[in-house]
Chains A and B, each alone.
Chain A
Amino acid sequence: MPLADALAFAPGLATALAQPFEDAAALGRLAEWCNRYSPWTAPDGTDGVKIEITGSAHLWGGEPALANDLLTRLDRRHVTGRVTIADTIGTAWAVARFAQTAEGVVILPPGELRAALASLPVEALRLDPLIAQGLRRVGLKRIRDLYKMPRNALAQRFGETVAQRLDQALDDIPEPLSPLGEVPSWRVRLSFAEPITEPADLMLTTERLTADLVQRLAQEGMGARRLDLAFHRVDGRVERIRLGTARPSRDPRHLTALFKERLDTVDPGLGIEDMIIAAFAIESLPAEQISLPGHISRNEAGSIAPLFDRLGNRLGLAALSQLEPQESHIPERASVRVPVCRPHSSAARVANQPPRPIRLFEPPEPVEAFWLLPDDPPFRFVWRRRRHRVTCADGPERIADEWWRPNGSGDVDAIRDYYRVEDEEGRRFWLFRAGFHHGGHQRRWFIHGVFA
C-alpha cells in the first residue's frame, strides 16, 4: 500500500528511507562473518544467508550446538533469525520461511525431505510470483499436490522451472552453493573465550595459527603460496590480511614475519573473537635439506625468494620485475619488464648494435624542434620548457612498425627517424621524428631517451 494510506491507518508509524545497496552490503558482511562456521557461505536473496556445513558441524559439537551458537550470536547483534538445517538448499529455504513453527531452530533429519515439504505452500519452491499464481489458479496450492502431477504437463503449462525447483528441493538434481569468496584448501581456526585487542596477543595467536597450518602442510608435503588471515571482530566485521609468496613456502618464521609486518593495518575495534588462517594456492614442496649453521651458501636461488616475498607483499608483486631482451627493433619492445623468478630466455646479443640510451621514457615526450632541411636533425629543440641548442647529431636511424606482427598497424605515423643529438652543454639525447615529410602529414618530434 502507498505510504499515505499506511500513515492514515497508523499515524504513529516510524518511517525510514529504504537503502537497498546498504542492505545488500550488510547482508554480504553477515555472510562473511558466517565464515567462522564454514568457508562455504553466500547471501541468499535479500533476507538470508546459506551456509554449507557438511563436514564442519562436528567441530562445533553437532548441528544443534552449531545452530544454537549461530542464533545466540545473531541475537547479540539484534538480528532476529530462523535457522534451518536440511539436506538441500531448497528445503532449508522453504522450511525457514514458510514452516509454521515458533522455534528458531529447525533441524530436519536426513532423508525426510518429502514429508517436510508436503504441507508447505507452492511459493516455498522459490518460484516466480506469476507462476505461483498460475499454479494456485489451477488448484495446486500445496507442494504435496505437485508430487503426483506428471512432469511434462507441468513443464508445458508453467515452464521448466517448476520441475527443476522441485527436483532440487528433493535432492534429485544437485544444487551447489557458490561461495562468497574463494574456498581455501586448508583452514585453521582459533576462537577466543574473551575477545582480544592487544597487538601482542594478536602476534602470539598469529604465530600459533601459522605453526598449526605449517604442521598440516608439512604432513602433506605441500607449501602455500597464498594465505589469508581473517580476524572476526565482535561487532561482525571481518578484517583480512592477504599474503602471496613467490615460491611455495612452509617456513613458519618467514610466514609469521610477513603477517606481522601487516598486523598494524588491522583494527581490532572492540575485540576479536575468532582468527582463521586459510591457505589457498598450495603446491607440492618436497622436504629440503637444512644446511649446518655457518655453511650458508650465498648462491641458492631459493634464498632470494624470501626477500622478493617481503618486497612484493609491501610494495605489490607488480613492483618487482626483470629486464628481458626481446627480438624487436622497436625500442620500447626490445626490452620488456617481466615478473621475477621466471626463467628468462637468453636472446642473442646483436653485435654492432646502434647505441641505445640508458634512460627511456614511456611514453616518449613531445618536443618542439626546429630544423633547416627536411631530412636534417633539428638545430634547436625545446623540451620541458628548456631550450637546447644542438651542436652535433647522428642519424637518422629509421625504425618502422613491425608489419609482420599480428598487431602491427603499418601506420604511417609509426615510422620513426631517430637522431642522437648533443647540445651545447654536452648532454646527449635520443630524438625521433614520427611520420613522413610529404603529404599533408604533420611532422611531430619526440624525445625517447637520454644517453650518458
Chain B
Amino acid sequence: MTQSRYLLKQSDFNETRQRVWRPVVPTYGPAKHAGSRTENALLAKLSERIKQIERPTATVHGVLPFGITATDRALPGGGLARGALHEILGAGRDEEDGALAAAFAAYILGRLTGTADGIVLWCLPRPDLYGPGLAAHGLDPARVVLVRAPRDAEILWAMEEGLHAPGIVAVVGEVGTLPGIASRRLQLAAEHSGTTAFLLRRWRDGGQAAHERALPNAAVTRWRIAALPSRPMPGEPGVGHPRWRIELLRCRGGEPVCWEMEVPDATDHVSLAAALADRPAAPVTPEKLRRAG
C-alpha cells in the first residue's frame, strides 16, 4: 500500500489492452458425457426435444453472446436470452450499494445497445448512478433514461410500462421486494415485446435479504456477482486488475456455474477503433491474444 499517481502509470504508455474477460479458474461446471458418437447425437436430440417441450418460446427473440466461450457454453442457446427477465444479485456487503451488479448490467447493456437502437430505461429508488462509471463499463450514458421512484411497486410498474412501449431496448430495475406475480408479469411482458429486462436486487436489511433470496421468481437466469481482491499488476503498486466472481445461480435450461473473471481496469477499455488509432509501442502479438482468450 503506497501512493502512486495514477496518471503516470507505466501501463498507460506501454500496452494497449483490449476489453477481454479472462476466465481464470472455473470452479465447477457441467458434467461431461461419455459414450459413442451416435449415442451423443441421440442424447443431444432428445435433450433439445425436452427443452422445447419444457419451454417452447425460450429463445424466440435470440440470444446475446458474451464472447467468452466458457460463459456462452453454460447458457442455453449460446448466450443471454433476449426478451426475457434476468436477475442479478450482489454478494455480501455489496447488496446494499449494488455496484457490482450495476457494473455487470452495464457491461451486458453495452453489448446490447451496440446491436440494437433504442434507449435503456433504468428505474431506481435513489439517483446514485454515475455516468462516467457507466461509460467505463461500456454503456453510453446518453442511451440511458433514469426513472426515479421511491417505492418498489412503482419501480415494477415503470418497468412493465417500459417493456410494453416501443423504442426501448432494455429495462433495468433496482428493487428489494419482488412478488412472484410481478416477476411473472415482467417475464411475460418481456417475451411479448422482445425487450430484455434486468432486475438488480438491493437490500439494506440482512433479514429481508435472506427472506427475499429464498423466494422463487420467474426470472430466466439468476446471477450473483461478488468482488474478489484484485490481481496486482507486475511492478506496479496499488490497486491492480479488478476481479469478480460471477455465479450463475439458476438458469432455465442450464446448470449453475461459477467463474472467477478478471475485469480490465476501467481506463484500459479500448475499443477496436481506438486500438487502430493509438498504436502500442510494442506490437500485440497473436500469442498474447490467445492467452487472453
Contact = CB atoms under 8 A, between A and B. Distances in A.
Interface of A: 296, 298-301, 303-304, 306-308, 310-311, 314-315, 319-325, 331, 334-335, 337, 340, 344, 346, 349, 352-362, 375-377, 379, 386, 390-397, 420-422, 424-428, 449-452
Contacts of A335: 130-132, 141
Contacts of A315: 147-149, 154, 158
A367 to B, nearest CB: 14
A386 B158 CA distance: 34
A452 B135 CA distance: 13
B141 A323 contact: yes
Contact of B130 (A301, A314, A356): A356
Contacts of A379: 1
Interface string B168-186: 1000000000000000000
Contacts, number: 206
A296 B193 CA distance: 13
Chain A CB within 10 A, most for which of B141, B147, B154? B147
Residue of A356, A358, A395 with most chain B CB atoms under a 10 A cut-off:
A358
25 contacts: A307-B165, A315-B154, A315-B158, A319-B147, A320-B145, A322-B142, A323-B129, A324-B131, A325-B141, A334-B131, A334-B132, A335-B132, A337-B146, A352-B12, A355-B267, A358-B103, A358-B130, A359-B128, A359-B130, A392-B232, A426-B227, A426-B229, A450-B99, A452-B99, A452-B100
Contacts of B237: 392
Contact of A319 (B149, B161, B232, B263): B149
Interface string B118-146: 11000000011111111111000110111
Contacts of A349: 135
A241 B137 CA distance: 43
B187 to A, nearest CB: 20
B51 to A, nearest CB: 29
Nearest to B278: A351
Contact of B133 (A300, A337, A359): A359
A301 B229 CA distance: 44
Interface of B: 1, 3-7, 12, 92-94, 97-100, 102-104, 106, 117-119, 127-137, 141-142, 144-149, 154, 157-158, 161-162, 165-168, 226-230, 232, 237-240, 242-244, 263, 265-267
Nearest to B236: A394
A393 B239 contact: yes
Given A358-B102, A452-B99, A298 B118 contact: yes
**Looking at chain A's contact residues, is the secondary structure mostly helix, strand, loop, or mixed?**
mixed
Nearest to A397: B6
Contacts of A391: 1, 229
Contacts of A421: 239
A427 B227 contact: yes
A299 B165 CA distance: 11
Contacts of A357: 99, 130, 133
A151 to B, nearest CB: 62
A4 to B, nearest CB: 56
A358 B106 contact: yes
Main secondary structure of the interface of B (DSSP, over half): mixed
A18 to B, nearest CB: 42
10 tightest A-B CB contacts, nearest first: A452-B103, A358-B133, A335-B131, A323-B131, A307-B165, A355-B266, A426-B227, A360-B130, A356-B132, A450-B99
A325 B244 CA distance: 28
A236 to B, nearest CB: 34
A337 B127 contact: yes
A450 B129 CA distance: 10
B6 A394 contact: yes
Contacts of A319: 147-149
A254 to B, nearest CB: 12
Contacts of A320: 145-148
A397 B8 CA distance: 11
B167 A354 contact: no
A428 B142 CA distance: 26
B237 to A, nearest CB: 7
Contacts of A303: 165-167
Given A300-B167, A324-B142, A325-B141, 18 more contacts: A300-B166, A303-B165, A307-B162, A315-B154, A322-B142, A323-B144, A337-B127, A340-B145, A353-B132, A357-B99, A358-B102, A359-B133, A362-B128, A379-B1, A392-B230, A395-B4, A427-B93, A449-B133
